[in-house]
Structure 1
Amino acid sequence: MEQWVVPSVVPYLIRAYHAWMEDAELTPHILVDCTYSGVVVPKQFIQQNKIVLNIASNTTHDLVINNNSLSFKARFSNKLVDIFVPINAVSSIYAGENGEGTLFKTETKKTEKKPNLTLLN
């Protein structure tokens, strides 16, 4: 029996907020969790494992927001750089001018926790 997988709402919201911000002449920014596997951004601009990226159409080249990732080319230090962000690494999208936007719950990495043991006499 085939099981239906419901796609995440996040890429749809990113596309909707992006369109709304551009229609309102606001600048869409995303906050990216750079600890997420597959993130490709200029490392020198990462701060506290995060980076803010301007995804306005007039600052990006070949912007693609699909259901799994967000990718584009952008200038950093006058050099054209390929950017790749898995959708689950996007923590928020907001307008640079007024902060209007939304937060997304990013997947937390599973780490093995050692049991807390106490020696009893």
Structure 2
Amino acid sequence: MISNRPYMIRALFDWIVDNEWTPHLQVDANYPGIQVPMEFAQDGVIVLNVHPDAVRELQFANDWFFFKARFQGVEREIGFPPEAVLAIFARENGQGMPFPPEPYPEEMESTTERPSLSAVDSTDTDEPSSSKTNSERSKTDKAKKRSHLSVVK
């Protein structure tokens, strides 16, 4: 099912503009794959003025929002998925709608573009095996074979 978030954002954008207010988007600056000027983000969030007079080439597609805007006189291309939008509101009165934060998408499973980790058997050459008892050896062998990496989400 297609998310209703881009539809809601477009509808609220139109409503704000029709009322002659200034639409702003609050965007999660840490969302993977977004293209925003990070130097203007504060506490992991960036607020963007998306009024038609403030941006060029505004496109609100279902899977990607794109526009060009000026930051300190320099034009920048801005792009992010609708899932990165945390709120849309009017600058003049704060009316709009917040959205719950979306979980970040899983990383691509392509192993050709990034290195991968794998378990490697190692031998303990620091200490001769004769100085260890059988129980000590089996404990250290088990500890060596267990992975020390865990998946964090």
Q: 1:79 aligns with which of 71, 74, 78?
A: 74
Give the Cα separation in 2 of the matches to 1:62 and 1:82: 10
Q: 1:66 aligns with which of 61, 67, 71?
A: 61
Counterpart check, 1:88 vs 2:83: yes
2:140 matched to which residue of 1?
A: none
| TM-score with structure 2 setting the length | 0.67
Give the Cα separation in 1 of the matches to 2:101 and 2:3: 12
2:152 matched to which residue of 1?
A: 112
Is the 2:29–2:38 contact (alpha carbons within 8 Å) kept by the matching residues of 1?
no
Q: Which amino acid aligns with 1:98?
A: N
2:25 matched to which residue of 1?
A: 30
> More relative contact order in 1 or in 2 (CA 8 Å, sep 6+)?
1
Which has more radius of gyration?
2
Residue ranges of structure 2 left out of the alignment (5+ in a row): 107-150
Which has the larger share of helix?
2
- Post-superposition offset of 1:112: 2.1
Aligned alpha-carbon RMSD (Å)? 1.4
Greater than 4 Å deviation, 4+ residue runs: none
1:13 matched to which residue of 2?
A: 8
